[in-house]
Structure 1
Amino acid sequence: MVALERKRKEDGSGEQNGTKRHKSFNTASFILHSYSKLPDLNEFPKGKSEPLDIFVWGTGSMCELGLGPSAKNKEVKRPRLNPYLSSEKLGDTKIVDFSVGGMHVLALDGKNNLWSWGTNDSGVLGRDTSKAKEVLKDMDAADESDDEDGDLNEEESTPSLVENLPKVKGAKIVQIAATDNLSVVLYSNGDVYAWGTFRCNEGLLGFLREEIKLQASPLKIKELKSIVQLAAGKDHLLALDSKGIVYAWGNGQQFQLGRRVLERHRLRSLEPQQFGLYNIKYIASGDFHCFAIDHDDQVFAWGLNQYGQCALTDVNGELEDGSLITKPTLIPALSNKNIVKLVAGEHHSLALTRDGDVFSWGRYDMKEVGIPKDKLPEATFKDAHGNPRSVPVPTKLIFGSGKTDVKIKDIGTGSHHSFAVTTDGFVYAWGFADTYAPGLGPLDEDVEKPTRIVNTATKSYDIKLIDAGGQFSVSGGTKIEDEDAAEDRADKYEDIDE
């Protein structure tokens, strides 16, 4: 990785304000003008193909769970199979991939059809839901529940096909991504289409410069080509191309675009632009902070860092409220660790290594990091009353009793809760519990340490994928048909958790 920016004065050590940055050997204009001559570093993705049953849980008052319009489905305390996504409902196919935004979900089936559900205020569902009939609560009905609201919007709460997706000759959808207010698809030829809008601290920001405030149907992002990966934040997006160059667009008020956005040019941030990263092989994003891994296994971070969610402190080893990392900066604590996946919420982050270990860091007060209080590292920051506030140092998580080294194959986060999926397909959850998003049932307090989800619906399932939004969660898995094997697996983890 080489920073594509003008050289800055340094002290000869390669450090600026105590933070190491790579020296710039080339200018951005040189790279872009020589783009066609740059080698391809990254392969185009093939997309997922394994058929999955989909489970949902949490609070779905904004139609996030996709369980239909009945008011009784607004709160689901443990994973529940979504009946609308069965092979019968989808036309003899199943979901193979999904992406969770703040309050909506995109799901791709085995025939390359895209389904959506959730709130559609910003047009993120890619279909017209304005004609839906909402059934309000009958206040005089004796059999009504105590729920103060009526039923949900039937169109938004029921998974349906995204409309007007282009048929790209010789290409198919290989990745989907969702922010709070935008939906994006990546085709196998590197084309990107998006719809919805971006928001900022002051409200609506827009979709594309001054011309489009809200895009209701999929539109090709012409500034992008040969894209191999997308990463979605709360209201920004990253894209990585085959040459190893990273682009960013959307809201940049917390420097999540990797560059300073002047107020008078704020709408220009709605166009994808490179910002000084190349030789990159992988990108990831939380709500307001981002990560990139280069082909030398060096990890870089930028954006909001007041809880150490970027795994970096200042020159004095301290954290400050509102702390920002304004440009991609090397993170020694994450580099050369064989990290294969990074996920992040609002103020916390997780990393999965090739060996199946999980490291966690960031905000602590809602138990986002999954580290018990008596196991917190010395580097933990505390408030004036001595209460733990954040863990800026990546710390290895312990699953079960700790007697067995449990290996993980997938990780996921919501805004303030997290998950880890074991190689055997069980899910451990932790974090903010008021909305039932961890999937552990009704709890009196947040979940301090990784706790295994045990429920009837998923007990015989090998969970493969997991993701989460603001107050809800989604997983996908395959059923273990061999009952003896399923029973043996359950017995194994009962021993692990003792």
Structure 2
Amino acid sequence: MARPARSKAAPKGSSPSSTAATATTIAESKSKSNGVVPRKRTAAAASASAPPAKKPVPNPRSKRASATNVAPSSKDDTPENDMEVDADAEPSAVSDRDSDIAERPTKKAKVARPSSADVELKKYVAPVPKARNIKVIRERSAAKMDIFVFGKGDMCELGLGPDAKARTVTRPRLNPFLPTDTVGVVQVAVGGMHTAVLTHDGKILTWGVNDQNALGRNTSWEAPEVDIDTADADNSDSDDDDDAQINPLESTPGPVEGLPDEVNIVSIACSDSLTLAITDTGFVYAWGTFRCSDGILGFSEDQRIAIHPFLLPNLKNIVDISAGVDHILALSSTGTVFAWGNGQQYQLGRRVIERTRMNGLVPREFGLKKIVAVGAGSYHSFAVDASGRVWAWGLNQYGQCGIDLEGKTGEDGVAVPKPTIVKSLAKYKIVQITGGEHHSAAVTDDGKLLTWGRLDANQLGIKAEDLKSEYTVYDEHGKPRFITEPTVVPNLPSISKVACGTHHNIAIDVYGKAHSWGFGENFQVGQGPAGEDILIPTLIDNTATRNERLIFAGCGGDHI
């Protein structure tokens, strides 16, 4: 969550030692009046945080990557100055010309050794966009924000450093590594297990899981050796890994490496294993990779993982990006939409068959025109056109597209294969739309919050007695399972923004207060140490944020 930046230090009571949180919050300066269940990297971590069987949990997809998972960059992405020079190699020996000069000492050819400055110049830098008539089409926000985080940070998701006390934060906590006076964050993007922030001067800082290079920087770290006998003795009564050290480079915000100084980054986005950046002239850089049900799908048709920022060659005039788990929607200044990534659930708005699924990694338009906004759930997608109509496509197993497929909704793998108008939203003017794994949420122009889709982990924030039976599907025990009709969440003040995690949500009201609900066993709802599910939207109230005006929230798998 975020609040507008203040000219002073954080208020009393909001220090990391006195407050806690599972979400990231941004607040505006007082000078002025946007999921997935984390992919565990160790068996111990997985067993410690796995929710009960009654909870909706997607199939885990391990994020651990071996060296063989990282393919070399394409020729266009690998500059010539990445070649190594063996400065210590000896030159060929000089031959004796004749017997009378055989006794002379042999002279060695001089070898130029690179200076430290030369080595620095050999670092990878992505290419600068080149095109005719390049013009600025978007500006970067200038409003600096304080960043609050909460949830589970066992995999460095919270960005609070390697301290053991930063592993689990049950209520919002101010991130001390992102001060407004020296860093000045103006945008936050939250992925499944990593986060990126954009600073006021156009730099990108990242933290979290870097198994597929989503952080865009080198985080190699060798953990210090531990005396097993001593460790066993000290932890004889412990059944967890809470005291194990975590990577300080992944757990602390650090700058993305390889972006050219000549470009001006104005916006960022994160999927599960990918990070993207938009320039002020509408070009897009990306790094990391896409995944699918079989593991790593790839970054592009000829590149498995982009270990550095890579200029996407098929995109221009992009003004906004929305990311699902493993698919991307990019909105152009002319109102067209490009989609790429994993298309196994039709989330790209076009058919992608298995034998040619790599074709889905190429950004393509798919027929939508005059679009003014896009939004993405984990495996489904939305677009709003200039006339106010909402289009949806992708996975619809729990009615998360807002479309009832004549009784087929509820069956495994049921999807809306192409953009289809959501008729049930025709009576509303939608200003924001987004989604979680199997549910969706939207904000109207008059501040109403609508939710629909799966609800068996309290994702919708609506009590059973408030559900309309004609739109509700029940399980064999008579318990409500999902609803296909967008429904107003009652008893809320006017809402300005909403963010959906895998099975939880945070809404920011017009007064700058945050309300959370849904699956909360990993503290991702920010309601304190109980770690329980929250049935209906509940005010997040602690000393760190009580007197702050919050303006943004972003949800990951188990962190905010």
| TM-score, normalised relative to structure 1 | 0.81
1:355 to 427, 446, 449: 446
Looking at structure 1, the residues matched to 426 and 525 of structure 2 have their Cα atoms a distance apart, in angstroms, of 30
The CA deviation at 1:384 is: 1.2
1:78-89 alignment to 2 at 5 Å?
78-87=171-180
Deviation of the 1:134 alpha carbon: 5.6
Alignment of 1:90-489 (within 5 A): 92-131=182-221, 133=223, 138-141=231-234, 147-149=240-242, 150-169=244-263, 172-209=264-301, 211-316=302-407, 319-335=410-426, 337-378=428-469, 379-399=471-491, 406-443=493-530, 445-473=532-560
The residue type equivalent to 1:328 in the other structure is P
Q: Using the alignment, how far apart are the partners of 2:375 and 2:343 within structure 1? A: 16
**Whole-Å Cα distance in 2 between the matches of residues 182 and 266 of structure 1?**
18
**Higher relative contact order at CA 8 Å, sep ≥6: structure 1 or structure 2?**
2
Q: Which of 296-305 and 263-272 deviates more?
A: 263-272
Percent identity between matched residues is 43
For residues 15-60 of structure 1, the C-alpha deviation after alignment (integer angstroms, 9 at most, x for no partner) is xxxxxxxxxxxxxxxxxxxxxxxxxxxx943232211110000011
Structure with the largest fraction of strand: 1
Between 312-321 and 283-292, the greater mean CA deviation after superposition: 312-321
Correspondence for 2:29: none
**Cα distance in 2 between the residues matched to 1:85 and 1:135:** 31
Distance 2:292 2:432 in 1: 27
Q: Distance in 1 between matches of 2:472 and 2:324?
A: 26
Question: What amino acid sits opposite 1:71 in the alignment?
Answer: A
The alpha carbon displacement at 1:377 in A equals 1.7
Q: Give CA deviations for 1:240-299 in whole Å, capped at 9, x if unaligned.
A: 111211111110000001111122211111110111211111111010000001111111
| Displacement of 1:147 | 4.1
Structure-2 separation of matches of 1:239 and 1:428:
29
Report the 3-state secondary structure (helix = DSSP H, G, I; strand = E; otherwise coil) of the residue aligned with 2:266: strand
Does the 8 Å contact 1:245/1:277 carry over to 2?
A: yes
Shift in alpha-carbon separation, 1:145–1:464, aligned structure 2, 3 A: farther
* Residue range with higher mean Cα deviation, 43-52 or 381-390: 43-52
Rg larger for: 2
Matched residues in 1 for 2:389 and 2:296: separation? Answer: 36
Q: CA deviation at 1:115?
A: 0.4
Task: Return the alpha-carbon distance in structure 1 between the equivalents of residues 559 and 457 of structure 2.
Answer: 16
Greater shift, 185-194 or 259-268, is seen at: 259-268
Query: In structure 1, what is the Cα distance between the partners aligned to 2:140 and 2:424?
Result: 31
SS for the counterpart of 1:461 is coil
In 1, the alpha carbon distance for the partners of 2:236 and 2:544 equals 27
- Distance in 2 (CA, whole Å) between partners of 1:358 and 1:188 is 32
Unaligned runs of 5+ in 1: 1-42, 401-405, 474-498
Question: Aligned AA for 2:139?
Answer: K
Greater CA drift, 154-163 or 308-317: 308-317
Q: For each residue in 1:427-456, what CA deviation from the matched residue of structure 2 results, as whole angstroms up to 9, or x when unmatched?
A: 100000111000001336411100001111
- Distance, in Å, in 2 between the alignment partners of 1:421 and 1:446 is 19
